[in-house]
Amino acid sequence: MTKYISELFKEFEKLKSRREKCGFLWDHKENGTLTAVLQGAFDPNIKWHITDIPKYTPDVGPIGVNPSSLFDVIPKCTIFAIGHPKGEGVKPSRMKELLIQVLESMHKDESDLYVGMLKKKLKVKGLTESIVLEVFPDLYRKV
């Protein structure tokens, strides 16, 4: 059974040493959704249209029974990226509506990670840019 990205980060937060944390990320390096979340949060070249997160009500169901997860929505997040063709011509009001739909379709923990990615501030204890770049040195080019 595939673990949700929020579940992986909860496991990550329990690790004590830098070595354990890097090892954990190495073990999950092939997880494209995890990599995309890290890139969206840490890559300074990616800028998001979303500056203020609108009020929303995350799905209250237990994780796994929600309509969607980060696995479903991350491939579509390019609509919120400044300069990406998928977001061209989308009005700010429509972007806000789409963001609310995305956030309300996921479990709270998954929505929190998505918001953290958009704000460039993942609230994952012990997760630093230094650790991320040690495991993913080609995640992005320095500006």
pLDDT of 140 reads 87
Runs of H (alpha helix) within 1-135: 5-13, 18-27, 32-42, 70-73, 92-104, 108-119, 129-135
| Band of pLDDT at residue 143, cut at 50, 70 and 90 | low
What percentage of the chain reaches a pLDDT higher than 70? 98
pTM: 0.93
